Structure 1
Amino acid sequence: MYSGNSFDPADARWLAHRYEIVRDQLLYRHVPRELHQAGPFLTDELVGEQPSQVLDRAAGVAAARGHVAPLHFIFHSAFCASTMLVRAFDVPGVAMGLSEPVLLNDVTGIRRRGERTGADLARLLDEAMMLLARRWAPGESVVVKPSNILCGLQRPMLALRPTAKAILLHAPLATFLASVARKGLWCRLWARELLEGLLRDGLVDLGFGPNDYFRLSDLQVAAVGWLAQHRQFALLAQHFPDRVRTLSSEALLTDPDGVTGAAAAWFGLPPDRFARHAALGRHSKSGQPFSTGDRAAEQAAAVAAHGDEIDKVLAWAMVLAEQNGVALSLPAPLLT
C-alpha cells in the first residue's frame, strides 16, 4: 500500500528518471500525479528537487513486473501542441500521460555513443518502457510522449510493444518554421542540435553532403529536420498500418475536445472521459489560460516579424521535399 513518499519501486509515483550505465543503476524521483501537471516536461527543472532513491537496474525491473499498464505513444516533431495532448491523458481511473521522460533520452544517448547495441540495446529499451508503464491505478493505461530526439527509436519501440498504438503528431511546415523563428536564438540552436542527432541516427537522406549543412541558414536547418522526421512518420505509418495514426496540430487546435476524444478512442479508452480537460485550455509551458486565438496571434506575430525568411525557406523546402519524394501530407490520418 502506498504511503506518503516512502520508496516503493513498483509505485508509478516513483518516476524512473535516469539510468546510469557504468553503475547499472536507476535514479528514481518521487513525482506525484499533481506534479505532472505543473510543468511541460519531466526534466530536472520540474522534478530535480523531489525526493530521490537509487536502485540497481535489475531490482527496479523486477519490481516493475506484474505492475505494468497498457502502454501507448504520442510521437511528435515539435511545436505541435503535443504537451497539451499528453497532459489531457491525465484522467484518474482511465489513463495517465507522461511528457518526455528523461529515462528514454538516456537510452538514446547510450545508443548514439555505441555503449549498447543489438539485443543489449533492445533489452534496455524494453526495460525502460516497462518502468515507465507501471500502473498508476487499476484499469488505467499509460500514454507516453517521448522527446523527439527518440526519432530513431520509434520503430523499435513499437516493435517491442506489439499491443501499443501510436499517434504521430506534427505541425505544418510553415507553422513549425514560424515557431522556430519566433522563439529566437535558443530555438535556432535547438534546431541545429536536433539535426545533428538525426544525422547521427542515419535518418537524413535528402541529397546533402557533410559540408552542405554549414551553408544552411537556421530555418533551412529546421526545415531539413522537419522533413527528416516527416519521412520517418510516413515510414512508420506504412510499417504499422494497424497501429499508427497521424495528426496535424491544426486539427488538434481547431477542435481539441473532439480530437482528444478521437485519440482516446484510438488508444481503446472511453472518449467521453476526456472532454473539456483543463489541459486543453492552458499554455503547456506556462500553465496560463491559452486559447486557439492566442496561438493564432503568436503565429501572426512570428509571420509579421520573420515572414520574408519563412516564405523563402518554405519554398526551398517544398522543392527539396519534391526532389526527394517526401510527401507533405501524411498517410493514415486519425480523423477521416
Structure 2
Amino acid sequence: MVESGAQRHHASAMTQDFYQKNPGAEWLAHRYDPEHDAFQFHAVDRALRRSAPFLTDDCLSPSHPPLIVRRGDVAVTDNVVHFLFHSAYCCSTLLANALDLPGAAMTLKEPVLLNDLVGWRQRGAAPDAVSHVLDHGLSLLARPFEAGEATIIKPSNVANGLATAMMTLRPGAKAILLHAPLDVYLTSIARKGMTGRLWVRELLSRQLVDGLVNLGFTPRDYLLHTDLQAAAVGWLAQHRLFATMAERWPDRVRTLDSERLIADPMGSLEAASAFLNIALPVDGFATVVDTVFRQNAKDGTPFEQGQRDEERRQGQQLHLAEIEQVAVWAQHVARNAGVPMELPLPL
C-alpha cells in the first residue's frame, strides 16, 4: 500500500508532536519489532480504549500507519500498575470495563504488545532480552491519562506464560486471577463449536511451548485427547499457574470466580477496589453495576435479565454428556497431578 502525501504529512506531524513532549497515555505502545528493537505507537484516546473489547488492530481500526520509535529513544516513567490475569471465557472483559474509573484507574484490555513478546520468546529470544523489553513495555503501557490513576493491564491469556515475569518486574503490583469453574469453561468452549475447539488446541500448543503443562501426559497423549479434554488440560495448566502465583505472592494476589462476580457484582467490585487501593466512584459501584453489568462486554448490546443463564443452559443441554464426562476425567487428572480445583486466596 502506497502512502498518500496527506498520510505522510500526518505521520510527520505525529512524530514531531511525539518528540516535543514526553509521550503520554494517548500514545498506545501497540507492537514491538524485535528486528529493529522498536516500539510501534498509535494515538488512541480513552473513549476508544473503553469501548473497544480488545486493543487489537481489528478493534482499533487505525487510520494511519504506526509511529515507529526505537526503544532506546523512548522515555519511561514509574507508574502504578496492577494486573488482571485470566483463564478466558470468565467475564474478564466485563471486570476490566467495570474497573475503568477515570481519575482512579484505567484498564488496558489485551494489549498486542504483550502477545508480541510471547511470540518473540517462543521463537527462541534470549530470556534476558525478553525481560528487558517487557520491563520497558510495561512502563509504556502503564502511563495514565490522569495523574494519580492506577493502570490495570488485562493481558490476553496467551500471555499467562509471562505472568510471573510481570509480577517479578513490578514488585509493587497486585494481581487478580480470574477464572471460570471448569464446567462453565467447558460449556463456553462447546457452545462456540469448531471455533472454540480449535482455539483451545492452539492455546494448549502455546502452553506446551511455555512449559506450563506438567500433568503427567506424554506428547502422544495430547493427540489422543478430545477437543474438550484439550480444553480441560489447558484449564488445569492455568489453574496450576494461578495456584503457584497465589502461594508465591500471598499478599499481592487474590483469586476470583466468574460465578461469584456475576452473582455479587457489587461485593466483588468493592473487594477488588479495596485490594488494588483504587478509590470508589462517588456512588460506589451502583451506576457501574446498573450499566456495565447490563451489557454485553464485547459489543455493548443490552443483556436481558437471566440471558446469560439461559444461554449457558442451552449450551449445557446440547453437550451435557461430554461436559460431565470430561469434568470427571479432569478431576482425576488434577488429583494425580496435585492441582487444586479450588484456588486459594479468594477476593
State the TM bucket, normalised to the shorter chain.
over 0.9
Q: Does structure 1 residue 85 correspond to structure 2 residue 95?
A: yes
2:70 to 40, 51, 56: 56
Gaps of 5+ in 2: 1-12
Highest CA radius of gyration, 1 or 2?
2
Contact 1:29 1:50 (8 Å CA) reproduced: no
| 1:140-172 Cα deviation digits (max 9, x unpaired) | 110000011112111111111011000000000
Secondary structure class of the residue paired with 2:117: helix
Counterpart position of 2:200? 191
Counterpart position of 2:85? 75
Give the whole-Å Cα distance in 2 for the aligned partners of 1:13 and 1:302: 41
Closer, same or farther: CA 45–170 of 1 in aligned 2, 3 Å: same
* Mean CA deviation greater in 265-274 or 245-254: 265-274
Percent of aligned positions that are identical:
46
Give the whole-Å Cα distance in 2 for the aligned partners of 1:135 and 1:59: 20
Q: Does structure 1 residue 324 correspond to structure 2 residue 334?
A: no
Q: Does structure 1 residue 103 correspond to structure 2 residue 119?
A: no
Alignment of 1:1-336 (within 5 A): 6=14, 7-8=17-18, 10-51=23-64, 52-60=66-74, 62=75, 64-65=76-77, 68-117=78-127, 119-273=128-282, 275=285, 276-277=287-288, 278-290=291-303, 293-334=306-347
* Mean CA deviation greater in 134-143 or 164-173: 134-143
| 1:222-254 Cα deviation digits (max 9, x unpaired) | 000000000000000000011000000011011
**TM-score w.r.t. length of structure 1:** 0.93
Closer, same or farther: CA 314–292 of 1 in aligned 2, 3 Å: farther
Give the whole-Å Cα distance in 2 for the aligned partners of 1:11 and 1:22: 25
Give the whole-Å Cα distance in 2 for the aligned partners of 1:291 and 1:29: 36
> C-alpha displacement at 1:291, in angstroms?
5.1
Give the whole-Å Cα distance in 1 for the aligned partners of 2:120 and 2:205: 16
| 1:93-127 Cα deviation digits (max 9, x unpaired) | 1110000000011111111111232x222111111
Give the whole-Å Cα distance in 1 for the aligned partners of 2:138 and 2:266: 28
Aligned residue pair count: 325
> C-alpha displacement at 1:49, in angstroms?
2.1
Please tell me the root mean square deviation across aligned C-alpha atoms, in Å: 1.5
Give the whole-Å Cα distance in 2 for the aligned partners of 1:281 and 1:264: 20
* Mean CA deviation greater in 89-98 or 291-300: 291-300
**TM-score w.r.t. length of structure 2:** 0.90
Give the whole-Å Cα distance in 2 for the aligned partners of 1:323 and 1:47: 44
Secondary structure class of the residue paired with 1:37: helix
